[in-house]
Structures are given as structure tokens and as C-alpha cells.
Amino acid sequence: MTQSGKRLIVNGDDFGLSPQVNAGVLHAHRHGILTDTSLMVTAPAWEDAVALAKATPSLGVGLHLTLLQGRAALAPHLLPAVTDPFGNFSRRPTWAGLCYFFSRRARAQVRAECRAQVEKFLATGLSLTHLDGHLNIHLHPAVLDILLELAGEYGIRALRLTREDLTVSLALDARHSLRKRWESVIFTALARAAEKKLRAGGVAFPDALFGLHQSGDITERYLLGLLPRLRAGVTELYCHPALSPCREAQYWTPAYRREVELAALTSPAVRAAVTDLRIELVNYHACHSDG
């Protein structure tokens, strides 16, 4: 550990979504501060992502569980309560969340799908650093209980705990304050309940997290403001870098400025700040080892 005691995981989400996302993640790792990524094993470019990850052993890779706004690993006839006839999950997070919570049939199918995605990841031969969820679906109470069962069965040792210091977030960027406050209320409650379960299950998680309130808009200015505010311990910053143009990213997240995030992650000023502040860049293994 560095003298400052500050360790930072910089995780690129949506690995496998498209060749442009894959290239952005690799560029941010090789030429910037990105240390870890989360693989979508049912996304269009997931096999390309696996090949790139295998050729880049310094890049940590976790599973980006997809139960919303994406395709399932299992065949559609096995998931009639949670996908359409073509194997696509709902694009409406609220509807899907209610379905997973209230429908026993849906939960059984979600359990089978979670297992399938974990097994599909492990079949790649990549070392699984952690688990998180697309749109943070992994913190849904019903989904989290399933994941904790699978964590014990498959030896998954770390999981993203999505809760962010709202005061710091607003100090760095006061825009969209109502949306950020509402997110904070929801995810603070979800994370508080999840933390107790994770500790009881022996599943590790970072001490702090950023990226929730700034999704798709992490700029150089934001990072230069955030880095001096990091506290001792392990902090995760999750982001969404990509090269442009990217049809898939534009379809799913039209408001995200992924190329701006890529520029921020590879900024010489940001890399210099990490060095000057004696911040150690790590991947998710730092959560459950001596780093």
C-alpha cells in the first residue's frame, strides 16, 4: 500500500457491448488509469472482449450481470416471465424490478439466468475479480440474495456496493441535483441493506464508490476535483469509456459522453495527479487480498 493509504479501482463498465467500447476500455487501461472492467457475457462483442482481456493480463475483469436492457444467456423458452420471445430483457427498470420482487416465477427464472451468466463467464477461463450489475440491478433485494448464494457456490469474493457520497458529488458537479438526490435516497437504502448481507456472507466490497451520480459524464475536471478528495482505503470509480461513433452505445445510452470519459481517463494531468497524490491504482483483487 502507498504511504497515503489510498487505493483506487477504475472500472470500465459494458465491456463486450461493442468493438468501440472494447477498444475504449483497452485504451484507457494501456494509456490511462483504468484498472478493471466488467464483462457483459451476452452482449454483441463479448467474444472480442474476452480475447482482448486474455491478451491483457494486467486488466482485471468482473461480470457485468445483465437482467435489464440486454439479452439473456438462456434460451427464451426458459425465461418467459422475464424476457420477450427473442430473449430480450425489459428496457423498463421499474417494471422489471417490481416483477423480480413480486413474482416467484420470475425470481426462479432470474436465478437460472444469473447462474448461466456466471458459468458463461467462468467458461472463458478469465479470473473473475468481482460481480456488478447493468444499471446496478445486482443491488435489487431479490437479485442480491440469488447472487450471494452463487457467490458461495462459485467462490465469487467481491461485489460492487453502489453508494456514493452525495456531498462530494454535488461539490464536484452541482447540475442535476434533484436526480442525484433521488438516486442517493434509493441507493443509500439499497446499499445499507446489502452491506449487512455481504458482510454476513464474507463477500468483500470497496470502502467507497464514485460514478453513480456522474454516469456518462466523467470529465477531466471532475477527476481532478475527485482525486484529492479520496480517503484512505479502497475506492471504486466506475465509468463508461468508448471510441466513437458507436451505434450500440448511442442506442442504449444516448446521453453518455463516452469519448469524453475516455479522454479524461487518459489525460496526462489526471495521471500526474494520481502520482502526485500517491494514489495506488489497483483492481478488484485489492478488496479481498493484500493487493
- What phi, psi does 254 have (nearest 5°)? -65, -25
- Full residue range of the structural domain in which residue 269 is found: 6-287
Which pLDDT score is estimated for 3? Answer: 65
Asked whether residue 31 is assigned to any structural domain, the reply reads: yes
Asked whether residue 1 is assigned to any structural domain, the reply reads: no
CA 128 – CA 126 distance, rounded (Å): 6
Look up residue 249 and give its three cell numbers: 452505445
**pTM of the full predicted structure?**
0.96
Which amino acid, one-letter code, is at 57? P
CA 33 – CA 235 distance, rounded (Å): 13
Question: Apex CA 211: angle with CA 210 and CA 213, to 5°?
Answer: 105
Paired strand residues for 132: 64
Asked whether residue 178 is assigned to any structural domain, the reply reads: yes
Which pLDDT score is estimated for 2? Answer: 46
- Measure CA 49 to chain center: 15
Asked whether residue 254 is assigned to any structural domain, the reply reads: yes
Count of domains forming the chain: 1
Asked whether residue 149 is assigned to any structural domain, the reply reads: yes
pLDDT means per 10 residues in the chain (291 residues)? 82 98 98 98 98 98 97 98 97 93 96 98 98 97 97 96 97 97 97 97 97 97 98 98 94 95 98 98 84 41
The separation between the first and the last C-alpha atoms of the chain, rounded to the nearest angstrom, is 8
- What phi, psi does 37 have (nearest 5°)? -145, 165
Closest by Cα among 172, 147, 171, 176 to 161: 147
Look up residue 6 and give its three cell numbers: 489510498
Kindly report the CATH number assigned to the domain that includes residue 267: 3.20.20.370
